[in-house]
Amino acid sequence: MAKRVAFDTIPMEDVKNITKPTHTNLSKLAMQYSDGVVFAESGVSPELEKYASEIDVPVVHAHADIDPMKSVDEFYDSVLLGKAELVD
């Protein structure tokens, strides 16, 4: 699977996490290329929590808020703040 994912601008060393394609490892790959992560449910794997912290990606725990949609909306606004271009 890692060989099939490694193309264009995604180098092989970035897909090393999916040499064993588990849910956790696929989630780690997605986090590598994300501007932010929404943990929408409680019980997120501690390994994923730790990984998000290690790569310093912004995180919101939407499940912990009274109004999760509002917290996600505010989170997206804060992540996008200062980005001049949202899409290529």
Instruction: Report the distance separating Cα 9 and Cα 80, nearest Å.
Output: 22
Q: Report yes or no: 23 and 2 within 8 Å, Cβ to Cβ.
A: no
pLDDT range class, residue 6, cuts 50, 70, 90:
low
- Give the 3-state secondary structure of residue 61: strand
Condensed to tens digits (0 to 9), the pLDDT of residues 70-81 reads: 888 888 888 877
**pTM above threshold 0.85:** no
Condensed to tens digits (0 to 9), the pLDDT of residues 12-56 reads: 777 777 778 889 988 998 898 888 898 888 888 999 999 999 998
